[in-house]
Structure formats: C-alpha cells, structure tokens
Chains A and B, each alone.
Chain A
Amino acid sequence: MLQPLREIEGGIKLSLNVAGRLGQLRKPPILESFLRQVYFTGVTAATGVVLRASGLGALIIAVTLDVLDADIDLAVKILLWVVFREIGPLAAAVVVILRTGTAISAEMAMMRVSGQTRALRYLAINLYDYLVVPRVAAVMLATMALTFYIQALAVLGALVLSPFIIDASFMELAGRFFELFAPVDLYYSTVKSLLFGFAIAACCCWHGLNPPELSQNAVPKVITRAVTQSAMLVLTINAVFAYIVFGILFFGLVTAKV
C-alpha cells in the first residue's frame, strides 16, 4: 500500500524539481547531456518510423473505406481525428517508451547500483540537475518533434498512397483534409505530446534512481516498472486530455454534458 503512495509522492516531487530547475540547462555539461538525449530520442528514432508511419495513414484510409463503406469525407475525417489527434501522439509515445524509456531507466539504475550517483553527489553535482533535468526536457522536446514527424508522414502517406487503393485523387483528399483541419488539432497534439514526454521521462528517471535494491538484479525490475507505469501514464493522460478538450472518453462511451 505504501509503495504506490511513495511512487506518486516521489514522482510529484521530481516533476516539481525539474520544473523549478530548467534554468540549469544553461550549464555546459547539462546542455550537452540535453543535446545528446534529443539526438538519441528524436533523431535516431526518426529513421525507423518513416515507412511505418506513412503506411499507417494509407492503411487507415483503406480499412475505413473497406470496412465502414465510407466515403472520402469520412475517410479524411478519420485520418484527421484518429491519426492526427490520437494515433500520432500515441505512436510517438510508444516509440519513446520502448527506445528511450528503457534506456533511461536502465542507465540510471546502473549508475545507482554501481555507486556512480554517489560519486556525483560527492563531487557536489546535483543529481536532479545533471541527470534528470536534461533528460526530461530533451524527451519532452523530442516526443513533440517525433509526434509532428509521425503525423506529417502518416497524413502525407495517406494522401499519396490512397489514390492507388481508393477512387479518389491526391488533390481531392488533400483539399478535404485542409478544409477540416483546425489549429486546435495542432495545439492539442503539441500539448499532449509534451505531457507524454514529461510523464515518460519523469517516470523512468524516478524508477531508475529508486531501484528496489542496490544489486544488478534490480535493473530489469526497474525497466519493467518504468515501462509499465509510463505506458499507463500515457494512456491516462490521453483519456483525460481527450475528455477535457473534446468532452469524450473511451471513444465516446463517456461524453461530457454541455
């Protein structure tokens, strides 16, 4: 019973600490750590998602038209509402959890177990400043960039590949897409992806720095907990955010009273 409360308390403290110490990013070693993390999370992850993301958009349009017997209008609406608003940020979050979340939690747990965090403390280096702040800030930024990247590729992929599957031209699909597109879609996914990045990085850092025991055996346990809880946090944020912004939850099963 105490463990979940401890984790919530620790997560909140860590989050507040990061928010209050973002100015530390100006220090050269912290800035360098931040840039390294952006490169690892954003740039190296991006190459693998190109084909998958562009295929995703086309697949959704093709399946929608086929299964729902939908017209172009409905297909584009689904592309915007499902791919752009929901699947884009979620797909980016999944990539970040699997690639970066595991790496961060394992790295931190190894540092903790092998006494490297203690060495940093003895060198009068604040662990939050040096380890947590750059990772959280970088993962937030990289998750947002990766989200835009996946969204752009998925939409572009759908618009380019769909004419081969359905009876609609690229111009028709694109025109309809931009008619339906509203700035709120962009703000929505920006804020959501930043929150996803924050939650994933903060959760993984906290678990990495607080292994259940100080032995090598703790590392896989830390990774499992960090990944599971990050995924749960992302899904919770997604559901709550959808309810707050659009008044719907669980694909419309719960709707806000207006």
Chain B
Amino acid sequence: MTELALRYARFTGRHPIVLTVPRGGVTRAHLPDSQAKAHLVTALLKARAASGEELELLGAATAELNAKRRDRLRRRVGAVSPVVGLINNLNAWENISLPAAYHGSPPLERVAQIAQEVLQRFGADPQAFLARLPDDLDSLERKIAAFVRLLVAAPELAVFDALDEGLSREESARVSGFEAEYRARQPAGTLLYVDIKEA
C-alpha cells in the first residue's frame, strides 16, 4: 500500500472534498472554489483541521497532536502561496533568511549559497535581487523569493498554491522549473500543486 503524505477531507461547503497525496510524488489538486483552496492551504500550514475537516499529515493524525508536536509538524510543511507572503519592510535577503536566522538553522552561509544558486538558475542577479524590497519585485520575482525561502526550510511537503496566478505564459514556463529544483534538493519530498478548477 502506498504511504500517504496527506489525507484531507472537508465535508462542509457546497462540494465535499477528499484528497489523498502519496508520499514522495507530485499531486495536482483542483479545488472547486477559492474558499475551499484557502481552507486546504490553511489547514496544511497550521497542521490543524477546522471543524468539518479531517487532516492526516505526514503520518500524524492532526486532531490528536499537542502544541509542541503540531509545531514540529508544521515545520515539515512549506508553501509558495499568497497566504505566506513576503514581509514588506524586509528586503528579499532578509525575507529569505528570516526563518533560518530566527530558528538558528540552517547556517546563513548555507542560506546564501542556496539563494545564489537558485536565483542564478532562474536568471536573476543575486546581489541586485536580494537587496530589493518586496514592493520593488514583480509577481514572478516574489514567487521566486518565496520559493527560495521554501527551499531553505527544506520541507518534506511543499505546497505550490496557484503558482501560475498573475503570471504571463512565459513567466509560467519559468516557474514550472520550481518542481525540478525542489526535486533536486528534496529527492524524497512530496509536492502538491493546488489550484481552482476552471469552469
């Protein structure tokens, strides 16, 4: 039997949702509306199911977790999502390095190395990019910064929430490279794309 990274069910709302994501794979979830999408992403990032929801995450039934274990579980999940945006008064480098500097790992030299490699891979000049404030970055650049921050955290489950939203066709083609980059750094990681089902 395939081991699951995630089992999520939501019984409230107009459309009941049941979602299973096998561990180590790539899954694309198309949800009926933006509310359902927001509920799913929030539940994953909080590692907590709201009422009318069920969530098993990375082998743990989230309803039974105490605060400490929930906190540990949350750190194993990351997202490139409007829900986890950049902090406006910090430049791109400070945004990328903030979680590492706060939690004390990985070392900032390692963060700088990851940032340099990934930014170059996506065609940005690291020095100029990292010095800019989020307001000076366009949609694609914001997503790249959020992606670098995600790679630094090295989550076992990475959620790409509406990755193409607000991007041109050419830019969408560039962000499609996120998957390969994540896979190269987290070979056993699980990737979940979340989008709204087009009518």
Contact of B98 among A110, A122, A123 (CB under 8 A): A123
The 24 sampled A-B contact pairs (Cβ below 8 Å) are A27-B104, A29-B94, A29-B101, A29-B102, A30-B102, A110-B88, A111-B87, A111-B88, A114-B85, A115-B83, A115-B85, A116-B87, A116-B88, A118-B84, A119-B85, A119-B86, A119-B87, A120-B87, A122-B46, A122-B83, A123-B149, A124-B71, A124-B74, A124-B99
Name B's interface SS. helix
**Top-8 shortest CB links A-B:** A122-B45, A29-B101, A119-B84, A123-B99, A28-B101, A122-B84, A119-B85, A125-B102
Chain A hits for B102, CB < 8 A = 27, 29-30, 123, 125, 129-130
Bound complex: CA A125 to CA B99 (Å): 7
List B residues at the A interface (Cβ < 8 Å): 45-46, 71, 74-75, 79, 82-89, 94, 98-99, 101-104, 149, 153
Name A's interface SS. helix
Bound complex: CA A29 to CA B75 (Å): 19
A181 → B minimal CB distance (Å): 43
Bound complex: CA A128 to CA B50 (Å): 25
In chain B, what residue has the closest Cβ to A123? Answer: B99
Chain B hits for A130, CB < 8 A = 102
A115 → B minimal CB distance (Å): 6
Chain B hits for A118, CB < 8 A = 83-84
A77 → B minimal CB distance (Å): 47
Chain B hits for A28, CB < 8 A = 101
Q: Are A114 and B84 in contact (CB under 8 A)?
A: no
List A residues at the B interface (Cβ < 8 Å): 27-30, 107, 110-111, 114-116, 118-120, 122-125, 129-130
Given contacts A114-B88, A124-B74, contact A119 B83 (CB under 8 A): yes
B135 → A minimal CB distance (Å): 11
Chain A hits for B45, CB < 8 A = 122
Bound complex: CA A22 to CA B121 (Å): 41
Chain B hits for A111, CB < 8 A = 87-88
Q: Are B84 and A123 in contact (CB under 8 A)?
A: yes
Bound complex: CA A123 to CA B84 (Å): 8
In chain A, what residue has the closest Cβ to B86? Answer: A119
Q: Are A125 and B85 in contact (CB under 8 A)?
A: no
Bound complex: CA A247 to CA B125 (Å): 65
Chain B hits for A30, CB < 8 A = 102
Of A30, A107, A110, A123, most B-chain CB atoms within 10 Å: A123
In chain A, what residue has the closest Cβ to B79? Answer: A122
Contact of A27 among B46, B94, B101 (CB under 8 A): B101
Of B79, B94, B101, B103, most A-chain CB atoms within 10 Å: B101
Chain A hits for B84, CB < 8 A = 118-119, 122-123
Bound complex: CA A116 to CA B86 (Å): 7
Q: Are A124 and B75 in contact (CB under 8 A)?
A: yes
Bound complex: CA A30 to CA B104 (Å): 12
Contact of A107 among B71, B89, B153 (CB under 8 A): B89
Q: Are A124 and B103 in contact (CB under 8 A)?
A: yes
Bound complex: CA A129 to CA B82 (Å): 23
Bound complex: CA A122 to CA B83 (Å): 9
In chain A, what residue has the closest Cβ to B103? Answer: A124
In chain A, what residue has the closest Cβ to B87? Answer: A116
In chain B, what residue has the closest Cβ to A24? Answer: B102
Of A29, A119, A125, most B-chain CB atoms within 10 Å: A119
